[in-house]
């Protein structure tokens, strides 16, 4: 479609809106933050509207929006100058800006007759460990890896979008893949399941029950000895059951009474916790826990605060 065909507000908005969720997930992978991705999409649409006359139909409208969104994210990364301090991650807590992504929104992306190029979101490319490892990459490598290995664009398409040579794209991709391979998810042996398995969901159910009963031995039995627990944006974490379990007793009983509901985030099992503090009359939104299971036990727990409850369509009180 030629530039003049998208010059009016209504036509432009309708065409751009089809790609909002896909661009949001792309920006989320680049930035690691749900909220910052929302800002990036808004900036993408603003830049696209301002430069709409430059769209000449040489590329698809989707590719044109992807180019703008990628540049918006690259600008944001450069402005923040924000990357983990080390070249390898001992904990997801080293990425304090990391946030979860609701599966209910990921489900909005799927190929259709109208948008056959859309790529359904797989667990392997959206789980928290993958998102955190991406943050280790320099901005251009990050963009190349996502466009080539996640969005599944060709080398030439990626080179065109990023204004790079084919050789430069291949070199950046090789380096990016090496970094990602060196930062495989903790305890991971093979590829993850496409979505939470029945066994994982049963483990989640049992952990919720044990949490609500403040049953520390039952919870401890579900953890790997080398389990990792992170709490972004808080700058501390636990590596190993022996360092985490001793504090569970007071952590579960002292604050008050818990109620938890199962949810799904980043194609992983998750739960939302509500706390009724001593002296309070209602349960209030408190935290989101996303768990990663390996060999039938919890290998990783990432705990987030309550700020994204609305994104998960969760009430703030029960």
Contact 179, 137 (CB under 8 A): yes
pLDDT tens digits for range 116-160:
666 678 899 999 999 999 999 999 999 999 999 999 999 999 999
Place of tokens 């627990």: 229
- The reply to whether 173 and 282 lie within a common domain is no
**Is it the case that residue 7 has pLDDT exceeding 90?**
no
Determine the pLDDT at residue 9.
Answer: 67
**Is it the case that residue 3 has pLDDT exceeding 50?**
no
Residue 284 has which token pair?
A: 């209030």
- The reply to whether 145 and 84 lie within a common domain is yes
Q: Tell me the CATH number at 122.
A: 1.20.140.160
- The reply to whether 69 and 156 lie within a common domain is yes
Q: Which of 110, 24, 102, 107 is nearest to 264 (CA)?
A: 102
Residue 210 has which token pair?
A: 């044990």
Contact 170, 155 (CB under 8 A): yes
- The reply to whether 115 and 221 lie within a common domain is no
**Is it the case that residue 114 has pLDDT exceeding 70?**
no
- The reply to whether 11 and 105 lie within a common domain is yes
Determine the pLDDT at residue 68.
Answer: 95
* Domain of residue 109, residue span: 3-182
Domain boundary among 182, 206, 228: 182
- The reply to whether 234 and 271 lie within a common domain is yes
**Helix/strand number for the chain, H first, E second:** 13, 6
Q: Tell me the CATH number at 214.
A: 3.10.450.50
pLDDT tens digits for range 195-221:
899 999 999 999 999 999 999 999 999
pLDDT tens digits for range 42-93:
999 999 998 887 787 767 889 999 999 999 999 999 998 887 877 788 889 9
| Comparison of pLDDT for 186 and 98, the residue scoring more | 98
Residue at 101 is within a domain: yes
Distance of CA 194 to the CA centre of its chain: 15
- Full-model pTM: 0.92
- Considering its fold, how many domains does the chain have in total? 2
Residue at 193 is within a domain: no
Residue 95 has which token pair?
A: 């990425």
CA distances from residue 143 to 44, 125, 229 in whole angstroms, order as listed: 16, 14, 28
- The reply to whether 171 and 69 lie within a common domain is yes
User: Looking at 91-100, 107-116, 268-277, which range is the least confident one?
Assistant: 107-116
Residue at 238 is within a domain: yes
- The reply to whether 174 and 241 lie within a common domain is no
Determine the pLDDT at residue 314.
Answer: 98
Determine the pLDDT at residue 255.
Answer: 92
Task: Give the helix/strand (H/E) hosting 29.
Answer: helix 20-31
Give backbone dihedrals phi and psi of 234, rounded to 5 degrees, phi first.
-65, 135
* Residue 11: pLDDT band with limits 50, 70, 90: confident
Distance from C-alpha of 303 to C-alpha of 27, rounded to nearest angstrom: 22
Residue at 156 is within a domain: yes
β-pairing, 223-230 vs 297-304, is parallel
Residue 317 has which token pair?
A: 């009180």
Determine the pLDDT at residue 249.
Answer: 85
User: Looking at 8-17, 89-98, 111-120, 236-245, which range is the least confident one?
Assistant: 111-120
Average pLDDT, the chain: 91
* Residue 112: pLDDT band with limits 50, 70, 90: low
Residue at 211 is within a domain: yes
Domain boundary among 130, 149, 182: 182
- The reply to whether 176 and 205 lie within a common domain is no
Residue 55 has which token pair?
A: 């769209």
Residue at 123 is within a domain: yes
**Is it the case that residue 113 has pLDDT exceeding 90?**
no
- The reply to whether 159 and 225 lie within a common domain is no
- The reply to whether 268 and 150 lie within a common domain is no
Q: Percentage of the chain with pLDDT > 70? A: 94
- The reply to whether 69 and 126 lie within a common domain is yes
Place of tokens 């974490």: 237
Residue at 190 is within a domain: no
Residue at 23 is within a domain: yes
């Amino acid at each position: 479609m030629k530039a003049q065909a998208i010059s009016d507000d209504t036509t432009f908005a309708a065409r751009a809106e089809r790609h909002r969720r896909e661009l949001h997930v792309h920006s989320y992978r680049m930035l690691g933050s749900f909220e910052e991705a929302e800002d990036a999409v808004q900036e993408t649409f603003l830049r696209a509207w301002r430069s709409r006359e430059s769209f000449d139909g040489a590329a698809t409208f989707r590719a044109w929006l992807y180019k703008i969104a990628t540049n918006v994210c690259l600008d944001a990364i450069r402005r923040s100058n924000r990357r983990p301090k080390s070249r390898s991650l001992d904990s997801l807590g080293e990425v304090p800006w990391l946030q979860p992504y609701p599966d209910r929104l990921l489900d909005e992306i799927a190929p259709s007759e109208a948008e056959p190029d859309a790529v359904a979101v797989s667990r392997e490319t959206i789980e928290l460990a993958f998102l955190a490892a991406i943050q280790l990459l320099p901005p251009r490598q990050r963009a190349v890896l996502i466009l080539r290995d996640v969005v599944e664009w060709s080398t030439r398409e990626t080179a065109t979008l990023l204004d790079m040579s084919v050789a430069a794209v291949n070199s950046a991709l090789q380096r990016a893949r090496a970094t990602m391979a060196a930062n495989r998810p903790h305890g991971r042996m093979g590829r993850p399941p496409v979505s939470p398995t029945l066994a994982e969901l049963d483990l989640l159910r049992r952990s919720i029950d044990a949490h609500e009963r403040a049953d520390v031995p039952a919870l401890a039995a579900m953890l790997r000895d080398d389990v990792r627990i992170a709490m972004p944006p808080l700058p501390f974490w636990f590596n190993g059951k022996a360092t985490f379990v001793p504090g569970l007793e007071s952590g579960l009983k002292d604050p008050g009474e818990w109620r938890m509901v199962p949810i799904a985030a980043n194609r992983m099992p998750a739960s939302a916790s509500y706390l009724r503090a001593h002296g309070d009359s209602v349960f209030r939104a408190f935290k989101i826990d996303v768990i990663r299971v390996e060999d039938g036990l919890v290998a990783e727990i990432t705990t987030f605060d309550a700020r994204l409850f609305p994104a998960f369509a969760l009430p703030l009180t029960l």
